[in-house]
Amino acid sequence: FTWRDIERIRKKCPIPMLIKGIATPEDARIAVEHGIDVVYVSNHGGRQLDHGRGSIADLPDVAEAVKGKCRIVVDGGIYRGTDIVKAIALGADAVGIGRLQGLALAAGGEAALLTALELLEDETRRVLGLLGLTSFAGLDRSYLARAIPLSRRGLDSPFPLLKEGY
């Protein structure tokens, strides 16, 4: 499948087009050049390439590359309201929450899915409120700070009491 195929499809089907799997600024720019309406930043759940970057890591570069010329959707690891707020602050217009929905359905069917979505909405509203915002409109990267992971050798292990080489 190539960009030539996209051109052919665009000519036959003049409808809004979304392309999922954009992970580099170069592909994002090419998508914009081909009139794509939505770039979907995704590593397809990490199934396609072991040890690939997470979508949230690729999002800022993709957002910079498209410069507002198309919409951006991102997925991957969106489970909490804070995840949504971070994604929007980094340039996404929307987020995908497929796995969260699947987990909720598996845990308790439709009622659990509804509860999960309500919790997600509540968390998102609370995070915005704690930032002093009433909507996503004023949200940008200035609300984020890079956190350096703690490195406590052995303590972050699932078996912290086991000695090395044991």
Identity (one letter) of the amino acid at 16? P
Pairing mode of beta strands 94-96, 38-41: unpaired
Q: How far is CA 119 from the centre of its chain?
A: 18
Catalytic residue among 10, 29, 44, 80: 44
Helix (H, G, I), strand (E, B) or coil at 18: strand
- Any catalytic annotation for residue 34? no
Pairing mode of beta strands 18-22, 71-75: unpaired
Rounded CA gap, 104 and 38, in Å?
27
CA dihedral for 31, 37, 41, 44, sign (positive or negative): negative
What positions carry a catalytic annotation?
44
